[in-house]
Chains A and B, each alone.
Chain A
Amino acid sequence: MSFTKIGLVLVILMYSILLFNSLEEDKLTQANQLKTKYSTVINNTLNDTAYTMLSTIKYENEVMQLNIEECLKTFRKTLTVNLNIEHSDVYYTDFMNHVPLILFIDGDGLYSYALSSTGGTLEHVLHEKRYFTYYDDIEDLVIRFTFSDYYEIYDTTYNLAYRGSFSELKALGIANSVFSLTEDKVIELRNKIVMEHINNELLRINDHNNYAEAIGVGYKFFIPDANTTFTNTINSPGIATFIQGISLGKDNLNVADFAVATVVDSEIIEGYDNAGRLVYYEISNPNKIGTYVESFNTKKEAAQAGYYPSSY
Chain B
Amino acid sequence: MNHSRVVQIWVGLFVAIGLASLFMLAMKVSNISALTEQDGYVIKANFENIGGLKIRSPVTMAGVVIGRVSAIGFDRNTYEAVVSMTIDPNYDNIPEDTSASIFTSGLLGEQYIGLEAGGSPDYMKEGDSFQLTQSAVVLEKLIGQFLVSKADE
Do A and B share a complex?
no
